[in-house]
Amino acid sequence: MTIYANIDMDMETRIDTLGEPKIESPISKELNGTSQEVFKDDNDCILIELAPETVTEAIRAGKTLPAFQLAGPRRKIYFDPSKLKCALVTCGGLCPGLNNIIRSIVLELYHSYGVKHIYGIRYGLQGFIPSYRHDVKELKPANVVDIHEMGGSILGSSRGPQDIEAIVDCLERMNIGILFMIGGDGTLMAASKIDSSIRERDLKISVIGVPKTIDNDIHMVSKSFGFDTAVDIATSAIKGAHKEAEGYPYGIGLIKLMGRYSGFIAATATLAQQDVNFVLIPEIDFDLEGENGLLTKLEERLAQRKHAVILIAEGAGQKFFETRKKEYDPSGNIKLQDIGLFLRQRIQKYFEAKDMDITLKFIDPSYMIRSLPANSNDHVYCTFLGRDAVHAGIAGKTNMIIGHWNDHFVHVPVPLTAGKRKHVAAGDKLWQTVLEATGQGSLINKKSNS
C-alpha cells in the first residue's frame, strides 16, 4: 500500500490536537537513519478504500479522501517531557497482551522521551474515583521489565461506567498531561466523553486509546492485540476435542470459544486446526431441527465418520433464548445465555430419543485464554501499539486510538470507531474458506413456497 503525502483527508478521519507542537523531539538523537526515515509527517497517510489508480484524479479534482494518518514519531512534540506526567488505565475484561502494552508505553516514555512521572491507575475507571480508595501505582522500567511474561494486567481492571466529571477532576488534581486508556468499546466511548469534558474545561490533556478486544471486532481496526494468542490457544482446544471425539464410537467434541457478536476467533481457529466439522458464529444463522438443521447434519456426520467436532462462539444461537428475560452486566452489555451448555443438552436429548449411544465432551477454555500471557506475535504487535501511542500523545494528539490498517499503524479518531463493530460476513473469503474446510454447508432449513 502506497503512503501518500499532502492529501486533504476526510473530516471523519482527521485527528484532534491540543495545539501546535513546538519542541524538538529528543528521540532524533537516539535513532539511526535519515530524518525522513525516522519521523512521520501529519500529512502522511494510508488510503482506506480508494483504488490507487484513482488517487491522482481525485487529488487533481480537489476531493477529500478517506485516509488514516500514519502513526509514528514526529519531529516536533507538544509536551515538555521533563515536566510531563502520564497515567495508564486498563478497563473491561482481561486479554492477552495487556501487560505488554503497559510495558511498551512505560519503556518508550521513560527511555526515548525521558518522562519520569508515569502512574498506573488501579482497577479500571474505579481508580479515578476517591470513594473506592484504590492506590496509584508508580510505573518505572524496573517494575515493568518482566510483566510481559505474565497474564492479566498488573493494574487490575473493572467493568461499568464511572462519573466522567469525577475522572477529569482526578486527572486535573494529579496534573496529568497524557492519559492512556487500554480497553474495548465501552472504554473508547468513555474516552470520548472524558475528552469532551477536558475540552469544556479548556484543559491540555491528551487522551490516547489502545483498543482491546480478544474478539477482534473493533470497527476500522484490522486486528486487535490478544487475538493471535486466542487463536493459538483455541487450536490446542480443538486438538484435544478432536482426539476425544476420535477415541470413542460416535464421539463428539463440543468447544465454546469467545465471540459475543463476532465469530473471528472461531472461524480463524477452524482454519488454523482443520479438525472441525461444524462452526457456529453469531453472524451466521442456524437451525437445530429439520432436514438442514445442525442435529440432522450431525447425525449424518456420525453415521459416515463415527466422530465429529463442533466449534461454537459464545454469542451464537441466542435466538433460542428469546423468551427469557434479558439481563445486563455492569457495563451495560446483555448477559448472554450459555449456548454451549444448551447445545450439549439438546444434542444429548436428540440422540437419546434415537436410542443412539454417543460420547460428548464439552470444552470451554474461554477464561484460560483471556488470562494467559501473549504469544510472540502478539508481544511484537503490542510493542508497536504501545510505542506509537506514546508518539501520538507526546505530539499533542487526542481523542484517538492506535489502529492497524492496510499493514500500517495509523491514527483513528475515537468517534469513528466507538460504538461500532466489524463482523464476519457470509460472502467474505474467511467464512467461505471455513465452509470449504468443514463441508458443513448451510444449516438453515429451506422455507416452503406454499
Query: Which residue numbers are catalytic?
Result: 215
Q: How far is CA 105 from CA 74, 132, 309, 311, 411, in A?
A: 16, 26, 41, 36, 16
The DSSP code sequence of 174-232 is: HT-SEEEEEE-HHHHHHHHHHHHHHHHTT---EEEEEEB-TT--BTT-S--BTHHHHHH
Quote the CA–CA distance of 44 and 1 in Å, as a whole number.
Answer: 12
Euclidean distance between CA atoms 192 and 100, whole angstroms: 24
Looking at residue 316, the DSSP 8-state letter turns out to be T
List of residues 6+ apart from 35 with CB closer than 8 A? 28, 75
Neighbours of 235 (CB within 10 A): 18
- Closest to 206 (Cα-Cα) out of 383, 56, 16: 16
Using CB atoms within 10 A of its CB, is residue 300 exposed (0-12), middle (13-18) or buried (19+)?
exposed
- Per-state percent for the chain, helix, strand, coil, to nearest 5: 40, 20, 40
| Sequence-ordered strand ranges (E) for 58-112 | 67-70, 76-77, 85-90
Q: Can you tell me the distance from the alpha carbon of 371 to that of 390, in angstroms, rounded to the nearest whole number?
A: 25
Rounded CA-CA distance 85/119 in Å is 8
Query: 166, exposed or middle or buried, with CB in 10 Å at 0-12, 13-18, 19+?
Result: middle
From the CA atom positions of the chain, what is the Rg in Å?
24
Residue spans of beta strands (DSSP E) within 365-407: 397-398, 400-405
**Cell 515493568 identifies what position?**
144
Ramachandran sector of residue 400 (left: φ over 0; alpha: ψ -120 to 50; beta: rest): beta
Query: Are 245 and 252 in contact, with CB atoms under 8 Å apart?
Result: yes
Residues 116-126: b if buried by 16+ CB within 10 A, e if exposed: ebbbbbbbbbb
